[in-house]
Amino acid sequence: MRTQWKRQFATLWVGQAVSILTSSISQYALIWHLTAQTGSAAVLSLAAVAALLPQGILSLFTGAVADRFDRRKIMAVADGAIGLVSLALVGVGLLLGDLPMTAIMVTLALRSVGSAFHSPCLQAVTPLVVPREMLGKCAGWSQGVQTVSLLLSPALAAVLFAAVPLPLIIALDAMGAAFAIGFLLLARLPALRATGEEAPFRLLDDCRAGCAVLRSKKWLWQLCLICGLFSLAVVPVSSLFPLVSMRYFGGTAVAASVVETAYSLGMLVGSFLLGLWGGTRNKMTTMTAAVFALGGCLMAMGCLPPAAFLSFVSLSLGMGLASPFFNSLLTALIQEKVEGEYLGRVLGIASAVMTLASPVGLGLTALFAEGVGLIRWFALAGGVTVLCGVLCLVLPAVRRCDLPQKREAPCREVS
């Protein structure tokens, strides 16, 4: 029994790793195809919105579905649907001899819809399989698995993009989805349908119940708002790394890839360190320190002269190293503190807040980053990130959310 959960967790994430890898390869190939065909920043921004916005909006509701129905089946159906969408795009490419931009945008949006159903189920599965005291370590291992896949995908995509027709690269996504479904079945996970609610399923009522749970936990909704502000600052800046590497530091595409690789390697090391250590007993201590580290790295980047490219690479490595100690522990904290029958909804709402903040940040970056100056925009984002760390310290409900609850002393009988 002690090792069964490890086998289930490992089997599940082997399938997910392959699926993430093939999806990332096909995503890179599609973006490079759009870049080669249009050379338009507006088209690439539209592609990013198509890949983010549906998931951000639907995550407000899909958590309710995850809490009421068998999460294994939802994950399998979502993976299968994403695979079929990819096969449909392959069919369009083979039929027309090219991939129209409209078909690519629709595909990105439909895959985002599938992810909106899949993500809260995957996150809500973990605490029903993994012992509570191991959630922090398992969050690190799962983040590490994802990071390895994301680290390999650009190189593999580059090789395939130069040698293989695009429709065949997209077909890999369908194969990865089938692989994920197969390993989901092999994992033999327990029945993952919540049993705490017997009322008929009504989507809006269930979503309201999830919002009520979030509001009832003061620390949780405050932390969600902090995470939204964090995403507003950090996610858009990550899209500027290649531009800053080439324009400000005068590098080439190779220099830009070195920065991305440094960040990914840092994230990989951080994920495995978290997997071995698990973080401090009070997760907020580790999370707050990670936020300050990220903010400090960004502010230091904003002060670099054009000749300090190696320092920029080192700070990118530091950012990657710190990231899992916030992102992964945030998921583990919610998994540990929220009741299982509401977990999908709360995770969905938290994901929606962070995902929807990202396009807002991207829009602000597009409007003002050039005027402010690209490197100064990093410093500004670092200041906002440090503010998030300060809020984690000064808001008592957030700071104390993972402290052990004090138990009332038992009453003594008076004789």
The residue from 186, 216, 241 where one domain ends is 186
Mean pLDDT of 179-187: 91
What is the per-residue burial (b if ≥16 Cβ within 10 Å, else e) of 278-293?
bbeebbbbbbbbbbbb
Residue 147 and residue 226 share a domain: no
- Number of domains forming the structure of the chain: 2
- Which of 186, 213, 235 is the endpoint of a domain? 186
Does any domain span residue 195?
Answer: no
Q: Tell me: pLDDT of 175 over 90.
A: yes
How does pLDDT run across 11-23, given as a tens digit for each residue? Answer: 888 898 899 889 8
Alpha carbons 164 and 332: distance in angstroms, whole number: 40
Q: Residue holding tokens 């395939």?
A: 160
**Domain extent at residue 160:** 1-186
Same domain, 165 and 281: no
List, for residues 341-372, the tens digit of each pLDDT value: 788 888 888 888 888 887 788 778 877 877 88
Residue 399: pLDDT band (50, 70, 90) is: very high
* Residues 104 and 18 grouped into a single domain: yes
In a domain, 225, yes or no: yes
Q: Looking at the structure, do residues 104 and 208 belong to the same domain, yes or no?
A: no
Taking residues 408-412, what's their average pLDDT?
43
Q: Are residues 387 and 291 in the same domain?
A: yes
- Domain identity same for 130 and 40: yes
- Do residues 126 and 88 share a domain? yes
Which among 205-219, 243-257, 307-321, 345-359 has the top mean pLDDT? Answer: 307-321
Is 263 part of any domain? yes
Task: In whole angstroms, give the CA distance from residue 26 to residue 32.
Answer: 10
Predicted pLDDT at 270: 92
Q: Do residue 219 and residue 365 come from a single domain? A: yes
Residue 79 lies in a domain: yes
Asked if the structure places residue 197 within a domain, the reply is: no
**Which of 229-233, 276-280, 292-296, 367-371: highest mean pLDDT?**
292-296
Residue 87's pLDDT is what? 94
Same domain, residue pair 209 and 178: no
Q: Is residue 272 part of a domain?
A: yes
CA distances from 177 to 23, 140, 158, 167, 344 (A): 9, 23, 21, 16, 22
Q: Where are the alpha helices (DSSP H) in 130-281?
A: 135-163, 166-186, 203-216, 218-238, 241-243, 253-277
In a domain, residue 347? The reply is yes
Q: Of the candidates 133, 162, 186, which is a domain's last residue?
A: 186
> Which range is most confident: 151-155, 282-286, 339-343?
282-286
Using CB atoms within 10 Å of the CB of residue 212, give its burial: 0 to 12 exposed, 13 to 18 middle, 19+ buried. exposed
Residue 46 pLDDT > 60: yes
**CATH number for the domain including 148?**
1.20.1250.20
Kindly state whether residue 388 falls inside one of the protein's structural domains.
yes
Tell whether 22 and 149 lie within a shared domain.
yes
Lowest mean pLDDT among 28-42, 113-127, 129-143: 28-42
State whether 14 and 84 are in the same domain.
yes
Bigger pLDDT: 351 or 193? 351
Are 210 and 138 in a shared domain? no
